[in-house]
Amino acid sequence: MHFSLLFHDLKSFHFQTELFEACEWDEKILESIIKKVAHVLDNMVIPNYVRDFSYLQDKVLVPALKEQKIEDNQIKIIIKYIEHDSKFVAHILDLPEN
């Protein structure tokens, strides 16, 4: 389990660095993007008929991020990060209890 957490943290760091680079290494832009993403995720309305994540991504998440004026390359990184986190959570939930 500890190695899973370590790998997850390293991979998360990779995504954070990739997003920072996509913000032209500008901390203010990065902070603004993070606030916008948090706002979108906090206020996102998930339809009852969601088939899978790609449907939610294409029909709800990406349009909401674009509405916040987040650039396409930044959105791709954000989506990769969300997918990574969801896989990690699924992995943790599948671990046997101690």
Give dist(CA 28, CA 23) in Å, integer: 9
Q: Give 42-52 pLDDT, tens digit per residue.
A: 898 877 776 77
**How many residues would you count in the chain?**
98
Say if residues 55 and 42 touch (Cβ distance below 8 Å): no
What pTM did the predictor assign? 0.74
Question: Has residue 82 got a pLDDT over 80?
Answer: yes
